[in-house]
Structure 1
Amino acid sequence: MIIHTGGCRCGAIRFTANAEPIYASYCHCSDCRRASGAPVAAFVGFYAADVRFDGETGATYGTVPVERSFCGTCGAPIAYTDKRLSDRIFFMLGAMDAPENYPPRVHGYVREQLPFFHVDDGLPRMETMTAPRPSGENQ
């Protein structure tokens, strides 16, 4: 069994996933940019039942339905969850121990992409979210 691991900068938060990821993407939305401090964010998603936290799970913030987590000690962004996809957790690619193993497969929210930042990788480009929500919301 392949174990996927990650955590924060200071080591207070560590996590493992014991199944293959179900999702990997870039997000260009303004909320992800602000949360990550970068011109684009990248995520890898797992089913929450396959994830275990060792030690802290992190502090959280956000507006329903999205909640983001970060380390309360070092401030590193860790993950986000969405109540509409309550069985999943999406880790910041930078929180993974081997981020090179999770190449994004799609760009989301390209309608909000910064005009000076473009990755010409041939991946699909979605105007809004890349993981459809059960309610049909794509905002």
Structure 2
Amino acid sequence: MTGPHAGGCRCGAVRFEASAEPHHVSYCHCGDCRRASGAPVSAFVGFPVDKVMFTGKSLKMYENGPVTRSFCGICGSPIAYVDDRLEDDIYFMLGAMDMPAAFTPTQHAYVGEQLPFLHMSDDLPRHLKTSVTRPDGTVP
């Protein structure tokens, strides 16, 4: 992969570009991601937040504890999330990327919340909770 990596919402009112390579690509099975995306599983691409630029004026935010999710205020497309505990990173919805096939997930997070009818037959590492190590070295 070579940057920049771009994406945006369904209607085009929100666009973003990352000028770095992703540091994290994973599936998430948590209930919060299910509700935010409307899908049984989500996939995210993580970048350093200081290497990302947004354009457009429709980006809206929803805060829930330490997590702030962004979406387009016009078409409602989910865009990304940031976590106060991971202040240097931003995680984009894989489906918001212009070329989502370029980002292959490498692990599963929150498999303890995975829906029982969802079967993903791969050999990727599976984490009961988050797949992202916190700055203090812990994985909650």
3-state SS in 2 of match to 1:79:
strand
Q: What TM-score, normalized by structure 1, do the two folds share?
A: 0.95
Check the 8 A contact 2:131/2:139 in 1, yes or no: no
RMSD: 1.2
Counterpart CA distance in 1 for 2:119 and 2:125 is: 13
Secondary structure of the corresponding residue to residue 49 of structure 1: helix
**Separation in structure 1 between the aligned mates of residue 71 and residue 77 of structure 2, nearest angstrom:** 5
Unaligned runs of 5+ residues in structure 2 are none
Are the aligned partners of 1:14 and 1:56 in contact in 2 as well (CA < 8 Å)? no
CA distance in 2: counterparts of 1:3 and 1:63, whole angstroms: 30
Distance 1:34 1:134 in 2: 27
2:79 aligned with 1:78: yes
Aligned equivalents of 1:103, 1:14: Cα separation in 2: 21
Could you list the runs of 4 or more consecutive aligned residues of structure 1 that deviate by over 3 angstroms after TM superposition?
none
For 2:127, the aligned partner's letter is M
Q: How many residues align?
A: 138
SS of the residue corresponding to residue 119 of structure 1 reads: coil
Match in the other structure for 1:61: 62
Which one-letter code corresponds to 2:64 in the other structure?
Answer: T
Pairwise CA distance, 1:64: 2.3
- C-alpha spacing 1:28/1:43, structure 2 compared with 1 (3 Å): same
Q: CA deviation at 1:137?
A: 5.9
Q: Does structure 1 residue 87 correspond to structure 2 residue 105?
A: no
CA distance in 2, matches of 1:133, 1:82: 10
Q: Structure 1, residues 44-72: CA drift from partner, whole Å, max 9, x if none?
A: 00000110011236111121210100000
Q: Residue 8 of structure 2 corresponds to which residue in structure 1?
A: 7
Letter in 2 for 1:134: P
Segments of structure 1 that go 5 or more residues without pairing to the other structure are none
2-side partners of 1:80 and 1:121: how far apart?
26
TM-aligned CA distance change 1:44 to 1:11, over 3 Å: same
Contact 2:130 2:139 in 1 (8 A): no
What's the offset of the Cα at 1:2?
A: 2.2
Instruction: Please say if 1:120 is aligned against 2:121.
Output: yes
Decide whether the 8 Å contact of 1:58 with 1:69 is kept in 2.
Answer: yes
2:46 maps to 1:18: no
- Please give the TM-score of this superposition, normalised by the length of structure 2: 0.94
Aligned equivalents of 2:108 and 2:119: distance in 1?
Answer: 10
